[in-house]
A and B are shown apart, each in its own frame.
Chain A
């Protein structure tokens, strides 16, 4: 019985985290975009406008949930829920600290990628159910884009998995620090098992994973429908794409899913390439920085900081780069990222055989 209570608590906690992060993320995005464009952003609600997003969500909750007369009611109402739940369930397998993971499953990475693919289904449902030409165009673009970009993202991930030899995210995380049970070599020649820190992160264990990380990061932007790959919601062409017809809570859920997805893909990137919950500080002789800064709370701190930094980069990119055209999008995916990701897999294999 108490087991189930814990499950509920974990689920509620993750939901609260996703919601709070979305509020914080929207505020951060508005401020960052404002400063990049030499504006001020929200300043009036609360100190420095910090309560702006709380005010926004209060307003949004009170709004009417409008269902267009010609919409397919079932699909229309279910779609935002499916979009959000697909992303939300992805959080279940992500490790937050040593021994701290909501659901310990040995194929965690596989599960996460399987479950967030379902978001495409939700987006298609939203587009079709809205009975609106802009929505269906946006949904079709989204499906084409997400399915295409899963290939380079998947291969980049496989190259990391080949180095780690596990699909269990907690195992992958543990390998990249002082807690590792096996020997960790910096660039394949220097044994840093007891030094840890930034030196034992995956991108430094095998330097070609830096390329794999960049490929994964670009592909993850496309999977989260973020600029410069936001053609599914392309405001200048498609009004708001697949969520054109949504209002009130339905829209809030789509928004929540977008920001949760941003954090989720960043966190997967952190776990696979950037040392997960491990500290970036290495042990230097008597100065046991890595040992001191490893633990459950340090783990949560590091993984959150790293993920938030990646989310910050996502926002920075969004407010800098213009949107790609559909053909450019596909060119980038199939002609650049996919071959490079293949090369990464090949190097991973060679690296594993000869240097580890």
Chain B
């Protein structure tokens, strides 16, 4: 009985010295360091809390968080929408009547993007779209804290065309197509006549 009582008291005392050590070590608060820091996984002294909005853990600049599209570099090839496992990218393209410029890496742009929506509520952050993109215009950023009040706000619209502009481009394309068709018909007719 005495042995177990004394054993109980000594072990309780041991535990209490441990906690009182932590109690007085708490004068030191945590410094926020990168994961890549040498002593990141070292046993922490003092309090461990990161006071989130005031302190933030640094994340790599190219994280796998929110998607972002640089529309000037986009050739509207639709590869990202095709590879997406959850179909969260919705692209509507309009063929241009002529080459409409070049991307920063020299690829010629021939398509307008009438619609380029990414539904971040569906996105599973696999990053496949960023891999297949030929011009590397779709990227994942280091923004991880994003809150919206409406579910529809999670659909990011990247297209820079207004509806009128898109309609105009469609009209132009139709006109060009009609002209081409007419020219084709005329050529065929000529051919038939010539025989």
Contacts and interface: CB of A to CB of B under 8 A. Distances in A.
Contacts of B29: 40
Interface string B1-33: 100010010001001101110110110010000
A40 B23 contact: no
Interface residues of A, number: 17
Interface string B158-179: 0000000000000000000000
A319 interface: yes
B54 to A, nearest CB: 10
Contacts of B51: 40, 43
B49 A40 contact: yes
B53 to A, nearest CB: 11
A37 B22 contact: yes
B127 interface: no
B15 A336 contact: no
Nearest to A340: B5
Contacts of B104: none
Interface string B52-63: 000000000000
Nearest to A331: B4
Contact of B15 (A32, A321, A332): A321
B20 A38 contact: no
A39 interface: yes
A59 interface: no
Contacts of A40: 29, 47, 49, 51
A50 to B, nearest CB: 17
B26 A35 contact: yes
A35 B12 CA distance: 19
A324 to B, nearest CB: 10
Contacts of B18: 320
Contacts, number: 46
B2 to A, nearest CB: 9
Nearest to B28: A38
Interface string A313-356: 00011011100000000001001100000000000000000000
A57 interface: no
A43 B23 CA distance: 16
A38 B46 contact: yes
B44 interface: yes
B48 interface: yes
19 contacts: A32-B23, A35-B22, A36-B22, A38-B46, A38-B48, A38-B49, A39-B47, A39-B49, A40-B51, A316-B16, A316-B19, A316-B20, A317-B16, A320-B18, A321-B12, A321-B16, A332-B8, A336-B1, A336-B5
A200 B49 CA distance: 46
Query: Which of A37, A43, A332 has the most chain B CB within a 10 Å cutoff?
Result: A37
Contact of A38 (B1, B5, B26): B26
A317 to B, nearest CB: 7
Contacts of A316: 16, 19-20, 23
Contacts of B49: 38-40
Given A38-B49, A40-B47, A320-B15, 4 more contacts: A36-B22, A38-B44, A316-B16, A336-B1
Contacts of B26: 34-35, 38
A45 B29 CA distance: 19
Interface in A34-86: 34-40, 43
A35 B47 contact: yes
Which of A37, A320, A336 counts the most chain B CB atoms within 10 A?
A: A320
A317 B23 CA distance: 12
Contacts of B23: 32, 35-36, 316
CB-CB nearest 9 A-B residue pairs: A35-B26, A320-B19, A38-B48, A40-B49, A36-B19, A336-B5, A35-B23, A320-B16, A320-B15
Nearest to B2: A336
Contacts of B16: 316-317, 320-321
Contacts of B20: 36, 316
B177 to A, nearest CB: 64
A254 B16 CA distance: 28
Contacts of A320: 12, 15-16, 18-19
A305 B91 CA distance: 72
